[in-house]
Amino acid sequence: MSKAETAENLFESYNCAQSVLAAFAGDYGLDKEKALQLAAGFGAGMGRLQETCGAVNGVIMVLGLNAGLKEGDSKEKTHDFYTKVRRLVGDFTAQKGTVRCRDLLGGCNLLSEDGQKFFKEHNLKNNCREYVRLCCELLDKYLKSSG
């Protein structure tokens, strides 16, 4: 099963950020439960604030596990890591136009009761599922190409 399929399956029970991080976590020695805990607050653009898409935040966390910064790393390594983050965020933005959750959901306000009702009635979870899949596919492609 691909990482994208794993994340989509996880998305049935968990938020977008949790699903992306948990799909890749085992590759970096992070157990699934810890991944789910770590990413819990990043769903719906950080606690339903609808800022940066939770799936994109999940990608950034996986990048941190893959090539993130450790104590004593140089400023050059920081620069290189941030460049990787911008590249993947840029790839998502190129396909979807934005990384802002509220915009990805057509302005639906998840902090309101009406917004949550609209989200359910219009099955916007399918949009989020698509973003989870895309994030995993972009990340998987990036990881394979970067060695």
pLDDT score recorded for residue 125: 97
Task: Name the pLDDT band for 108 (thresholds 50, 70, 90).
Answer: very high
At residue 114, does pLDDT exceed 80? yes
Distance between CA 147 and CA 134 in Å, rounded?
Answer: 20
Model confidence at 12: pLDDT above 70: yes
Rounded CA separation 33/60 (Å): 18
User: In this predicted structure, what is the pLDDT of residue 147?
Assistant: 56
Per-residue pLDDT, averaged over 27-54, amounts to: 97
Number of domains in the chain: 1
pLDDT of residue 68: 80
* Close Cβ partners of 61 (under 8 Å, ≥ 6 residues apart): 17, 20, 21, 38, 39, 42
Q: What is the mean pLDDT of the chain?
A: 96
Distance between CA atoms of residues 50 and 40, nearest Å: 14
Token pair 């590249």: residue: 87
Lowest mean pLDDT among 40-49, 66-75, 80-89: 66-75
Domain that residue 124 falls in: 3-145
